[in-house]
Structure 1
Amino acid sequence: MKAAVLFKYNEPLKVVDNVTISPPKAGEVKIKVVTTGLCHSDVNVFEGKTPVPPPVVAGHEIAGIVEEVGEGVTRVKPGDRVVSAFIHPCGKCRNCASGKENLCETFSQVRLKGTMPDGTTRLSLDGKEVRTFLGGGFAEYAIVGENALTVVPPDIDLEKIAVLGCAGLTGYGAVNSARIEPGETVAVVGVGGVGLSVVQMLKASGAGRIIALGTKKWKLQRAMELGATDVVNTEEVDPVKAVKEITNGGADVVIEAGGNEKTVQMALDLVRIGGRVVLVGLPPANAMIPVRIASIVRNGVTIIGNYGGRPRVDMPRLLEMVRLGKYDPTKLITGKYRLEEINEAVKLLQQGEAIRSLIVMK
Structure 2
Amino acid sequence: MRAAVLHEYKEPLKIEEVEIAEPKAGEVKVKVTATGLCHSDVNVFEGKTPVPPPVIAGHEIAGIVEEVGHGVTRVKPGDRVVSAFIHPCGVCRNCISGHENLCETFASVRLKGTMFDGTTRITLNGKEVRTFLGGGFAEYAIVGENALTKVPSELDLEKVSPLSCAGITGYGAIEQAKVEPGENVAVIGVGGVGLSVIQMLKASGAGRIIAVGTKKWKLDRAIDLGATDVINSKEADAVKAIRQITNGGADVVVEAGGVEETIRIATDSVRIGGRVVLVGLPPASSDIPVRIASIVRNGITIAGNYGGRPRVDMPRLLDLVRLGKYDPTKLITGRYKLDEINEAVKVLEEGEAIRSLIIP
Q: Give the distance between the partners of 1:11 and 1:286, measured in 2 at CA.
A: 20
Q: Does 1:184 align with 2:183?
A: yes
Give me the whole-angstrom Cα distance separating, in 1, the residues matched to 2:287 and 2:185.
26
**153-162 vs 72-81, which deviates more?**
153-162
Q: CA deviation at 1:159?
A: 1.2
- Could you list the per-position Cα deviations for residues 100-134 of structure 1 after superposition, in whole angstroms to 9, with x for gaps in the alignment? 00000000000000000100000000000000000
SS of the residue corresponding to residue 109 of structure 1 reads: helix
For 2:192 and 2:343, the matched residues in 1 are separated by 18
User: Secondary structure of 1:78's match?
Assistant: coil
Q: Which residue of 1 aligns with 2:11?
A: 11
Partner of 1:140 in structure 2? Answer: 139
- Counterpart Cα distance in 2 of 1:9 and 1:321: 38
Q: 1:1-362 counterparts in 2 under 5 A? A: 1-16=1-16, 18-361=17-360
Q: What one-letter code is carried by the residue in structure 1 that aligns with 2:227?
A: A
**Partner Cα distance (1:287, 1:206) in 2:** 35
The separation in 2 between residues aligned to 1:276 and 1:146, in whole angstroms, is 34
Q: CA deviation at 1:286?
A: 1.1
Q: May I ask how many residue pairs the two structures share in their alignment?
A: 360
Task: State the distance in 2 between where 1:158 and 1:346 align.
Answer: 22
Identity over aligned pairs, percent: 79
Give the TM-score of the pair, scaled to structure 1. Answer: 0.99
**Deviation of residue 158 (structure 1)?**
0.7
Q: What SS does the aligned partner of 2:112 have?
A: coil
How many Å separate the matches in 2 of 1:164 and 1:126? 34
CA–CA separation in structure 1 for the residues paired with 2:155 and 2:239: 41
Residue 138 of structure 2 aligns to a residue whose secondary structure is coil
Deviations 1:51-78 (A, max 9, x none): 0000000000000000000000000000
Q: CA offset at residue 160 of structure 1?
A: 1.5
Opposite residue 262 of structure 2, the aligned amino acid is: T
In structure 1, stretches of 5+ residues that fail to align are: none
Give me the whole-angstrom Cα distance separating, in 2, the residues matched to 1:174 and 1:10. 31
User: Which deviates the most, 166-175 or 152-161?
Assistant: 152-161
Cα RMSD for the two superposed structures = 0.4
Alignment partner of 2:109: what SS? coil
Q: 1: CA distance between counterparts of 2:9 and 2:315?
A: 36
TM-score w.r.t. length of structure 2: 1.00
User: Which portions of structure 1, spanning 4 or more consecutive aligned residues, are displaced by more than 2 angstroms?
Assistant: none
Deviations 1:5-52 (A, max 9, x none): 000000000011x20000000000000000000000000000000000
Residue ranges of structure 2 left out of the alignment (5+ in a row): none
- 1:216-254: CA deviation from partner (whole Å, max 9, x where unpaired): 000000000000000000000111111111011000000
In 1, the alpha carbon distance for the partners of 2:190 and 2:181 equals 22
- How big is each residue's C-alpha offset from its partner over 1:243-287, in whole Å with a ceiling of 9 and x where there is no partner? 111011000000000011111111000100000000000000111
For residue 320 of structure 1, report the CA deviation from its aligned partner.
0.3
